[in-house]
Amino acid sequence: MFNAWAIPVFEHIHGKKIASMLADILFPNVTERTVRNWISGKIKNHQAAINKIDAAGTTKLRQHLLKKDYTPEDVERIIQNQPQNIGPLGSFVYFCSPLENHYPETLKLACKIDEISKELYEAKAKKDIDAFILKLLSVDYLTEEYLVNIDEMDESICETKERIINSKNWSDLDKPLKLILFNALMSLMALWNIEFCKSYFDQFEAVPIFIWFQPRINPTVKKGADGNFKKQRDLIHLPNRRLIDFMACLRFYKKNRKWPQEIPSVAELSIWTAEDKKNYVEERKIVCWREGRRLTYKEFSNFWNAMFFFCEEKQRPSPPFPLLFASTTWSKLFVQGSKEKPELSVYINFEKYFIYWWERHEKKAKNNGASFGDAAWLTLLN
């Protein structure tokens, strides 16, 4: 439903299917085949499966924290503060969060989206469209803003709500549900942008930086006489390219205390990583990532740490995983095909939705006492 998009994003970041990841956690007690059967519903004892996953995950986390020199008291406190029984979106927000800061408002919204998605799935499984509509319209967080269609402002929120109420079959709900899904996605990502930046980039102005990683037309390419762009390899700048360019600028800023005049080259990035012999990244690999090849969680972490290897280990900034999640989300949802094949297509018209939600969440955060820095951001990626 409204959270299904998160699963392929998470699988892409990890380079594994969810069943494989859960089997790794439960090894050697449970096989990947068993996990697949849990997910598909062939094995009905879901609560027993969930209990096993929770217990194994807690054990793995405890072992990991103890290896990181956390005290036993801190380990138990962190484990006790873990959110319980959360769905895909809540899990992914938690996974990308620092242990001591779970981006509380984002996590709360993600869990709400998970909860309503589960209830709507259950209603649809029973083929009860009336119960489905009743549940959809009674959700307290699903305000009328989630029915806003910026592309068709002539259609009012009331008209959209009336369309939902008068739906007689599931196909009648397709358009309204897609609209709610799109708004829920943008709302979550915009809120995460605000909480992440407030925590990670606290000295900088509040800016919707997640949108910098959307796919964009190369600004140096000009339209032809017919008013269209000619097909060429460098016509589209994909999210990974934008993300890596941003990482390079952040590294430059950290090293020189000022923003670069131009985006550092791929050759420079590779040279920087050479300082860390263990995680050195060849120029060709960086090029492939920028061209849309999968950039996994582990690769991103190693790449980041290699670029910032010049910092003392205790002063080295931690990898900003929400940025990878944002870039990968835009890639999975708004890019189809690849540059290696001629059928590459992208959707590049969602910025206005993101800004719409970012402005609302920023206003609410400030009204609740949130403060942001005043340092200026770079302008190269705007």
Q: What mean pLDDT is reported for the chain?
A: 86
Model confidence over 178-214: pLDDT tens digits? Answer: 988 999 999 999 999 999 999 999 999 999 999 999 9
CA-CA distance, 38 to 145, in Å (whole number)? 36
Angle at CA of residue 249, ends 243 and 250, nearest 5°? 90
What pLDDT is attached to residue 332?
93
Beta bridge partners of 375: 204
CA-CA distance, 229 to 251, in Å (whole number)? 33
What pLDDT is attached to residue 344?
73
- Give the three-class secondary structure for 204: strand
- Rounded mean pLDDT of 77-84? 75
What pLDDT is attached to residue 55?
76
Phi and psi, residue 204, nearest 5° = -100, 160
pLDDT band at 27 (very low <50, low <70, confident <90, very high): low
Is the pLDDT at 12 greater than 80, yes or no? Answer: yes
What pLDDT is attached to residue 45?
57
What pLDDT is attached to residue 327?
96
What pLDDT is attached to residue 262?
95
Mean pLDDT: which of 21-30, 53-62, 131-140, 332-341 is highest?
A: 131-140
CA-CA distance, 80 to 83, in Å (whole number)? 8
Q: Residues 31-44, buried b or exposed e (16+ Cβ, 10 A)?
A: ebebbbebbeeeee
What pLDDT is attached to residue 143?
66
pLDDT band at 23 (very low <50, low <70, confident <90, very high): confident
Model confidence over 30-55: pLDDT tens digits? Answer: 777 877 777 666 666 566 666 776 77
CA-CA distance, 106 to 303, in Å (whole number)? 27
- The pair of three-digit structure tokens given for residue 170, joined into one six-digit string: 């599931």
Cβ count within 10 A of residue 96: 23
Q: What proportion of the chain, given as a percentage, has pLDDT over 90?
A: 45
Q: Is residue 200 a contact partner of residue 372, using CB atoms and an 8 Å limit?
A: no
Residue of higher predicted confidence among 18 and 156: 18
What pLDDT is attached to residue 206?
95
The contacts of residue 226 (CB under 8 Å, 6+ apart) are none
CA-CA distance, 13 to 324, in Å (whole number)? 8
What pLDDT is attached to residue 44?
64
- Rounded mean pLDDT of 258-263? 95
The contacts of residue 161 (CB under 8 Å, 6+ apart) are 137, 144, 147
The alpha carbon of residue 170 and the mean position of all alpha carbons in its chain are separated, in whole angstroms, by 29
CA-CA distance, 184 to 313, in Å (whole number)? 38
- Give the three-class secondary structure for 237: strand
- Rounded mean pLDDT of 280-307? 95
What pLDDT is attached to residue 382?
75
- The pair of three-digit structure tokens given for residue 77, joined into one six-digit string: 């406190």
Residue of higher predicted confidence among 21 and 322: 322
Q: Which of 92-101, 137-146, 351-360 has the lowest mean pLDDT?
A: 137-146
Report the predicted TM-score, pTM, of the whole model to 2 decimal places. 0.89
Is the pLDDT at 260 greater than 70, yes or no? Answer: yes
Model confidence over 94-136: pLDDT tens digits? Answer: 888 877 777 999 999 999 999 888 888 888 989 989 989 988 8
- Rounded mean pLDDT of 82-105? 80
Is the pLDDT at 268 greater than 60, yes or no? Answer: yes
What pLDDT is attached to residue 148?
77
- Rounded mean pLDDT of 131-146? 78
